[in-house]
Amino acid sequence: MSHDHSSQNGNNSNSDEQRSNNQPTKSLRERMSQDLQLRGMAQRTHDGYLREVRKLAGHYHTPPDQLSEQQVADYLLYLINDCEFAPGSLRVAYSGLKFFYKYTEPRDWKVLTKLRIPKQKTLPDVLSIDEVHRLIAAVRQPRNRAYFWATYTLGLRMSEALSLQIGDIDAERMLVHVHRGKGAKDRFVTLPHSTLHVLRSYWKTHRNPTLLFPQIGRTKKEGPTTSRPMDPSTVQGCIKDVVSELGFTKQVSIHTLRHSIATHLFEAGVSLRWIQKFLGHKNLQTTLVYLHLTDPKEEDGRKTHDDIADAGTLFDNMFPPPGEPPIGPDNDPHRNRKPR
C-alpha cells in the first residue's frame, strides 16, 4: 500500500512538472507590460516605458536582460551627450529603464539611483482667443472641430477628451464628469453652453450609445456601434496639418489648447485656485506657471468661463438637421481641399 501511494505521489509530481514545463515562457515585453498594468500605469506611460526599453535593446542589438550596468550607464550618457535629449525626454527614458530593472528584471545598480535630471523651466506656448478661433475655424471635419472645441473649452488632456462619454455630461448642473484623468483622478469641470450645444449637435450625427467621439472607421459607418474612441493619431495629425496651413510659428499641440484656456481664464480674472480644480492639478505649484504668462485679477470663474467659450459662428451650418447627411465629399464646400 505504502509503495503504491509513494508511486502515485511521484507520478503526480512528474505530471505537475510536465504541465509547468509545457507552459509557454512569457517574453520580456509581456512580463514588463503586465508589471506596468499591475502597478496601475496609464496607457501612455505603459507604452512609453516599453518603447524606451525596446530602444535600449535596439541600441546594443542585445536583449535588455543581458546588458551590464556599465552599458546602461553608457546608453544614458549617449542620450544626454550625443542625442542631446531635453530633460522631459530624458526623464521618460530613464524612468522606463528604471522600471524594467526594478520590477521586471531586478538589478541592484547604482546607475538607477544616481542620475539627476534638471527640472525644465521653459514656459509653454499659448494661443490667443483669436488664434484659437482661427485654428478651429480651419478644421473642416465636424468630428475634429467638435473635438478641438471640447478640448479647449473644458481644459482637457487629449486622452480625457477622446474618452468622453454621454453619461459624463450633466446638462442640468452644467458640469462634465472627467473620468480617467492623469493619475486615475476624477474631477468635475463647468460646462459652457456653447460646448453643450456643440457636443449634442455632433452626437446626433452618429448617435453612439456611449461615446461622444467614437471611431468612425474607414467606411465612415462604425460610429453608431463601435466601442472604441477616435484614435489619437487622428486629432494629432489634424492639428499638425492645420497649424502648418495657418503658418503659426508657435509650438502648437493638442495640449496647447489646455494651456490656452487656463491662460485666458487667468487673464480674465479667475483665481488660480479655481483654475487648479478646473485643470485637475494636484499641486498649486503646477498651476502657478500661468502667473508667468499673464497678469491676475479676481472674478467669478463660471461666468467668465462661459463668456470665453462663446463659439460665435464657428459651428454655423457645421452639423446638418436630423435626417440630412453630415458634410461629406459630395456637399462639402471645401471638397477640393484635404479634409482635416
What is the distance between the alpha carbons of residues 209 and 325, in angstroms, rounded to a whole number? 19
Choice among 187, 206, 259, 281 that is catalytic: 281
Tell me, yes or no, if 19 is annotated catalytic: no
Choice among 98, 140, 145, 157 that is catalytic: 157
Mean pLDDT of 190-197: 95
pLDDT, tens only, 13-46:
454 444 445 556 789 999 999 999 999 888 889 9
Choice among 258, 259, 264, 305 that is catalytic: 258
Tell me, yes or no, if 335 is annotated catalytic: no
What is the distance between the alpha carbons of residues 184 and 196, in angstroms, rounded to a whole number? 25
pLDDT, tens only, 274-317:
888 898 887 766 666 666 555 544 446 777 888 889 888 888 88
Tell me, yes or no, if 134 is annotated catalytic: no
Choice among 255, 273, 303, 335 that is catalytic: 255
Q: Check: pTM over 0.85? Answer yes or no.
A: no
Whether residue 201 is predicted with pLDDT greater than 60 in this model: the reply is: yes
Choice among 180, 182, 200, 277 that is catalytic: 182
The CA-based dihedral angle spanning residues 27, 30, 35, 41, taken in that order and rounded to the nearest 10 degrees: 150
Tell me, yes or no, if 179 is annotated catalytic: no
Look at strands 175-178 and 187-190 and give their pairing.
antiparallel
Tell me, yes or no, if 290 is annotated catalytic: yes
Q: Rounded mean pLDDT of the chain? A: 83
Predicted local distance difference test score (pLDDT) of residue 182 = 59
pLDDT band at 322 (very low <50, low <70, confident <90, very high): low
Whether residue 337 is predicted with pLDDT greater than 60 in this model: the reply is: no
* Domains parsed from the chain with CATH numbers: 26-114 (1.10.150.130), 129-308 (1.10.443.10)
Q: Which has the higher per-residue pLDDT, 87 or 12?
A: 87
Tell me, yes or no, if 220 is annotated catalytic: no
Residue 190: strand pairing partners: 175
What is the distance between the alpha carbons of residues 139 and 80, in angstroms, rounded to a whole number? 38
Residue bearing cell 504541465: 19
pLDDT, tens only, 42-78:
888 999 999 999 999 999 999 999 999 999 999 999 9
Q: Which residues of 89-98 are buried (b: 16+ CB within 10 A; e: fewer)?
A: ebbbbbebbb
What is the distance between the alpha carbons of residues 156 and 257, in angstroms, rounded to a whole number? 8
Compute CA distances 16 → 2, 20, 25, 326, whole Å.
21, 6, 16, 61
Which residues contact residue 236 at a Cβ distance below 8 angstroms, ignoring those fewer than 6 apart? 158, 253, 254
